[in-house]
Structure formats: C-alpha cells, structure tokens
C-alpha cells in the first residue's frame, strides 16, 4: 500500500511545470484544489476544468463505453489536459505553443506516478 506524502505530491506537480506547462493541479470532484503548482501569475480556473471533465466523462460513458481516460482542450489562450486519477481530477495547463504530444505525455506520466497513493486513499 502506498502512502500519500503531501511534499512528494507537490514535488511531482512542480516537475510537470516545464516545456510550456505552467500549471498542474489536483482537484476534488467539485473542482476545489487539493494540490497545485502554478508558475505564471495567471490563475487557471479549476472549477471550469472539473466541470468540463465531468460533462465529457458522462458523454464518454455513452459514446465509448465509459473508457474516457483524459481530455485535451485547445483554447485561444492555451491548452488543458484533464482526466481522472482515482476519485480526483488532474489538470495540466500549457501555453498554446506547447506541443500536444508533450502535454499529453507529461499528463500520462504524472497520472501514473500519483495514481497508487491516491488509489489507496480512495479505498479507505
């Protein structure tokens, strides 16, 4: 069983903030931040990302048999990768110029890294 260490979680989120990624956030289902690492002075709107994830996950249940793992949103101001990690929502925000593949790779690696300790909390 893995134990969640807040400093290790914060360090993992901090490490994602390179190569155009400027914010990494772990949210609860209502969109409230559990942990975050933000480089820019801009504050990403976490509740919007959480709401979009819940809406798309619900439609994904009917479209893809419930296998929706993550979602990439491209906006005028940048890109957002969002997806579930145990009962939480992980969001990575990047600049528009960031390569989509790089953002999704960072998202997948971070998700896989924090999933074991977050899953043990979900089981408790």
In the sheet with 33-38, reading across from the earlier edge strand, the strands are 33-38, 21-27, 88-94, 79-85, 70-74
Token code pair at residue 86: 């145990």
pLDDT digits (tens, 9 = 90+) for 34-79: 898 988 666 666 666 777 767 766 665 544 455 677 888 888 888 9
pLDDT digits (tens, 9 = 90+) for 82-117: 988 988 989 999 999 999 999 999 999 999 999 988
User: What is residue 61's DSSP assignment?
Assistant: H
More confident residue, 43 or 123: 43
Query: Within its chain, how far is the Cα of 107 from the centroid?
Result: 7
User: What is residue 66's DSSP assignment?
Assistant: T
């Amino acid at each position: 069983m893995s134990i969640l260490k807040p400093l290790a979680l914060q360090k993992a989120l901090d490490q994602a903030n390179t190569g155009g990624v400027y914010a990494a956030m772990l949210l609860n289902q209502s969109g409230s931040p559990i942990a975050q690492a933000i480089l820019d002075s801009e504050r990403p709107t976490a509740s919007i990302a959480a709401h979009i994830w819940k809406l798309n996950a619900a439609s994904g249940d009917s479209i893809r048999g419930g296998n929706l793992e993550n979602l990439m949103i491209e906006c005028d101001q940048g890109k957002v990768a969002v997806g579930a990690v145990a009962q939480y929502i992980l969001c990575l925000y990047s600049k528009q110029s960031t390569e989509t593949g790089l953002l999704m790779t960072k998202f997948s690696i971070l998700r896989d890294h924090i999933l074991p300790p977050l899953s043990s909390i979900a089981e408790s």
